[in-house]
Structure 1
Amino acid sequence: MKFVSALFRTLIGLVFGAASAMALSPAFAAFHIEGSDTAPLIAVTLVILCGALCLFAPSSRRAFGRGFLLLGVSVFALPVSTFLLSGRAATDVIASSESGSEAATAIGAGMAGVAITGLATFFGLIVGAILLLIGLVLSLGGRREVIVVEK
């Protein structure tokens, strides 16, 4: 029975790790260098790390709490992640633009970067805070036993 419980906790961790890797995928794309496989390796490492964290949780409830905490931190970091990606995209677009139109290209790339980062900030801060609160309640909360001794 302990094996099935450990397998279930690991599965919980792998699912939350995959969701966390998906939330951080803009940052992985921003740091991607052509010809290297570092971004997928970091994503797989994140999934395995979350699976291991949940495997060593004492109960399934705590495993869910740890998964929600990692997912909450990843979603809360989504604005920074999209800011990195929009900066990388703006740099690539400006570098490949025709001579004489760099200013217009920079203005357009900057406006698009502000729009997508603002949307990610709105989504990331609200959903990330909710996920962090759920994770804290599941990880730290619970029934406490109090024994009152009277004379």
Structure 2
Amino acid sequence: MMKWKARKETTNIGVLELGNITFNEDYMEISIDIFDMSEEMKTEINKAIEIAKERYVEEEKDWITEHPEHKDKRCLQWSKKPVVMDFTFLRIRLEAGKPIDYSVEIGFHDAVNDSMEQWDCSITVDLSEHTKELQKAIIKVLIDKFF
């Protein structure tokens, strides 16, 4: 989704919703779906998933401490089955005055209990050697989609 702040002279008059990229005055984020990856990357994603699952359980324990009346309605045990992947995409964040930030974002839920979901899982990756290629691809998509 793309949003631009619309201004008339020096007055902000709203936000225009244009597509899948978000523009603010200082940053832009681009999401690119991942269709396939190396075995090494899959291994790293699986490590990140295990860490995110542990974090989920700790957050649930904290929530139960604050809301003990709901203890029986919360699940603290992930099933032994592999998680169900909801999304995996490359996130590119461009921010004025900062280096480009690349990360693989992962969202998943438990194979048995759909209510156990974790969408806050990411791996920072270094794609700096591909900056020129990404730059060309992003500009091409922007021009093709909007102009």
Report the TM-score, using the length of structure 2 for normalisation.
0.25
Larger Rg: 1
Which structure is higher in RCO with an 8 Å CA cutoff and minimum separation 6?
Answer: 1
Report the TM-score, using the length of structure 1 for normalisation.
0.24
Hey, which of these two has a bigger chunk of strand by percent? 2
